[in-house]
Amino acid sequence: MSLATVVVGLVQLALVVVGGPLLLGLMRRVRSRLEGRDGPAIAQPWRDIAKLAHKQRTRPTESSWIFAAAPLVLVATAATVAALGPLISLTPPLAASTDFIAVIFVLLVGSVALALAALDTGTAFGGMGASRALTIGALVEPALLVAVLALSLPLHSTNLVAIVADGLRHASVLVGPSHLLALASFIVVILAESGRLPVDNPSTHLELTMIYEALILEYSGPDLALVTLGESMRLAIWLGLFVNLVAPAGIAANATAAGLVLGVVAVTLKVAVVGVVVAFFEVTTAKLRLFRLPELLAGGFILALLGVVTGAVMR
Amino acid sequence: MTTFANALASAAVVVTVGAVVVLWRHRLRSIVVALAVQGVALALTAGLLAGHEHDRVLFAVALLVLAVKAVVIPGLLARVVAATPGARETDPLVNVPASLVVAGLLTLAAFIAARPIVALVGGPTGRLVPLGLATVLIGFFVMVARRRALSQVVGLLLVDNGIALVAFLVTSGVPVIVELGSSLDVLFGVVVLRVLLARLTAAGFSDLDQLRSLHD
């Protein structure tokens, strides 16, 4: 692991940590504007995090170390993927072992930690949220893995960096039907996994309809600040990986200073555009009933499966 | 991979995805829209083949397919749907997630079953035959698993579109007279079914399972 790759990793980490809450703020702002409200400033999530970090920490009396550790696990797993994934450059640290499936499972460790923490509180809403979140997680998994299979078919490799690099070299891969189907499935997965509409309403105040919000009801103060930061980092990572699979243009092929600056600008712009599109979609759509979620996720699964079949017949 | 092969594969995939969307969506309006998109993709497949082979007759066939399968037939069905706005496939015999899984299995079955044909035809066109076969199988499944009369008509049309896709891919275009014959056959079939559907809707039936006895 050379010094240059370490620099790339640190820049990516800094970008995701700073940019994650800003992305959240941007999406909230766009939603407010489309709903005819002025909305909070884009930097508002950062102000919330700074405010929460200074507040007193209260934890449920019956909770164990799991509740205390979950926010740290969430942020740590997100930070790992932020540093190692191909976000601004094709030369992140440990590029040879950035397996797509491993990246997904590292991110899932964070989700599972939060669900366990919600169970640990012993409250009804926490348990309900954990049950729903894990159900959705189990339904997302097949779609995600089959989409990864479709994306890795042309290369015979599940190395994420190699897949993005291949898209940069051969534009024909990007417009191939197999790739497009896999990405269509991937976006369903991202919406479900990051708790956006139509799967979950991130701005709900009604506990009975909550999924991800119910998981973190008991968190307060610095813990809540960490959870908010971790969730926004995960959203930024999912969207960052997505845009680089859709259109890797602008990503730095090697770790020169100019290349990295261009890479940062490119991925920031692309993620911002996708974030605005997602926010626009969220305003125009309604939350699906919980019992209809399997239909949506089965749809994502079948798109990915068609992607695999198409990829296999085109070879 | 050439641009032609990519474009042809994309068009063929849209035909199959259209069939999956018919299974996926509840609203009858969405189902008819999916059918229309599928018709456009089918015409595009024929048009791409015509451009590749420099075949004017095939181009005429593509225009015919576009007119009949993307405009006229969906238009006729859309008028039936307009009579009962907001109509939905409320209670299918096989629920949506299960039917999507079945569609996946059917696609895999088509992929395996079509291997001899793929080996026989070869080239960028022959490789896509499994997608046509999958469309045919999914169309049959729609006819079996859906209650609404309109959904079953759409299932029949999916079968027809799948057969047309296989025909285009295997033979690189069918003679115009054959295509004319089959398209008009389907068109007349749909006209008759449309009248029947309108009568059924007017009589208050749209669930074919309710029709149990005959009377004058």
Which residues of chain B are within 8 Å of residue A172 when distances are taken between CB atoms?
1, 3, 6
Among left, alpha and beta (phi > 0; psi -120 to 50; other), residue B95 is: beta
Interface residue A142 vs chain B (CB under 8 A): no
Asked whether the predicted pLDDT for residue B216 surpasses 60, the reply is no
CA-to-CA dists, residue A266 to A260, A262, B205, angstroms:
10, 6, 57
pLDDT of residue B49: 86
- Where residue B103 falls among pLDDT bands split at 50, 70, 90? very high
Which residues of chain A are within 8 Å of residue B101 when distances are taken between CB atoms?
298, 301-302
Sign of CA dihedral A268, A271, A277, A282: negative
Among left, alpha and beta (phi > 0; psi -120 to 50; other), residue B42 is: alpha
- The mean pLDDT value for A9-18 works out to 91
- The mean pLDDT value for B106-113 works out to 91
Residue for token pair 């940069």: A168
The count of structural domains within chain A is: 1
A173, A177, A305: residue with CB nearest B107: A305
pLDDT of residue A250: 79
What does DSSP assign to residue A252? B
pLDDT of residue B182: 77
Q: Nearest chain B Cα to A314, which residue?
A: B127
Nearby residues of A104 by Cβ (< 8 Å), 6 or more positions away = A144, A145, A148
Distance from C-alpha of A26 to C-alpha of A278, rounded to nearest angstrom:
11
Distance from C-alpha of A226 to C-alpha of A216, rounded to nearest angstrom:
11
| Residue range B48-89, pLDDT digits in tens | 888 888 878 888 888 888 988 888 888 888 888 887 777 777
Asked whether the predicted pLDDT for residue B1 surpasses 60, the reply is no
Residue type, B76: L
Best CA proximity match to A220, nearest among A71, A119, A107: A71
Interface residue B157 vs chain A (CB under 8 A): no
Distance from C-alpha of A234 to C-alpha of A195, rounded to nearest angstrom:
11
Determine contact, residues A91/A6, Cβ cutoff 8 Å.
Answer: no
Nearest chain A CA: its distance from B153 CA (Å): 22
Please count the residues of chain A: 315
Nearby residues of B187 by Cβ (< 8 Å), 6 or more positions away = B68, B72, B73
| Residue range B7-64, pLDDT digits in tens | 888 888 899 999 999 988 888 888 899 999 999 999 999 888 888 888 788 888 888 8
CA-to-CA dists, residue A57 to A68, A75, B189, angstroms:
11, 18, 71
pLDDT of residue A21: 93
Best CA proximity match to A241, nearest among A105, A146, A103: A103
pLDDT of residue A18: 93
pLDDT of residue B151: 84
Q: Which helix (H) or strand (E) holds A27?
A: helix A3-34
3-state secondary structure B9-73: HHHHHHHHHHHHHHHHCCEHHHHHHHHHHHHHHHHHHHHHHHHHHCCHHHHHHHHHHHHHHHHHH
Nearby residues of B61 by Cβ (< 8 Å), 6 or more positions away = B46, B50, B173, B174, B176, B179
The domain of A263 spans 3-314
| Residue range B114-146, pLDDT digits in tens | 888 888 887 778 888 889 999 999 999 998 888
Percent of chain B at pLDDT exceeding 70: 91
Residue for token pair 């491993």: A102
Asked whether the predicted pLDDT for residue A315 surpasses 80, the reply is no
Nearest chain B CA: its distance from A308 CA (Å): 10
Asked whether the predicted pLDDT for residue B153 surpasses 60, the reply is yes
Contact B16 A313 (CB under 8 A): no
Percent of chain A at pLDDT exceeding 90: 28
Give, rounded to a whole angstrom, the gap between the first and last alpha carbons of chain A. 35
Burial B3-12 (b: 16+ CB within 10 A, else e): eebbbbbbbb
Distance from C-alpha of A293 to C-alpha of A285, rounded to nearest angstrom:
14
C-alpha A157 chain-centroid distance? 22
Which residues of chain B are within 8 Å of residue A299 when distances are taken between CB atoms?
20, 24, 100
- Where residue A76 falls among pLDDT bands split at 50, 70, 90? very high
- The mean pLDDT value for B144-158 works out to 85
Asked whether the predicted pLDDT for residue A9 surpasses 60, the reply is yes
Best CA proximity match to B28, nearest among B95, B91, B87: B87
pLDDT of residue B214: 67
Burial A180-204 (b: 16+ CB within 10 A, else e): bbbbbbbbbbbbbbbbbbbbbbbeb
Determine contact, residues A252/A90, Cβ cutoff 8 Å.
Answer: yes
Asked if residue A198 has a cis previous peptide bond (ω within 30° of 0), the answer is yes
ipTM of predicted assembly, 2 dp = 0.82
Nearest chain B CA: its distance from A278 CA (Å): 21
pLDDT, mean over chain B: 83
Sign of CA dihedral A112, A118, A119, A125: negative
| Residue range B91-102, pLDDT digits in tens | 778 888 889 999
Interface residue B33 vs chain A (CB under 8 A): no
Q: What are phi and psi of A89, to 5 degrees?
A: -145, 155
Percent of chain A at pLDDT exceeding 70: 100
pTM of the model: 0.87
Determine contact, residues A254/A168, Cβ cutoff 8 Å.
Answer: no
| Residue range A236-272, pLDDT digits in tens | 999 999 998 888 887 877 778 888 888 889 899 999 9
Asked whether the predicted pLDDT for residue A276 surpasses 90, the reply is yes
Q: What is the CA radius of gyration of chain B?
A: 17
| Residue range A127-167, pLDDT digits in tens | 888 888 888 888 888 888 999 998 888 888 888 888 888 88
pLDDT of residue A217: 84
Asked whether the predicted pLDDT for residue B152 surpasses 90, the reply is no
Best CA proximity match to B12, nearest among B107, B96, B100: B107
More confidently predicted of B191 and A261: A261
- Where residue A60 falls among pLDDT bands split at 50, 70, 90? confident
pLDDT of residue B19: 92
- The mean pLDDT value for A1-27 works out to 88
Distance from C-alpha of A68 to C-alpha of A258, rounded to nearest angstrom:
41
| Residue range A160-219, pLDDT digits in tens | 888 888 888 887 778 788 888 888 898 888 888 877 777 777 777 777 777 788 888 888
Cβ neighbours of B91 (radius 10 Å) = 12
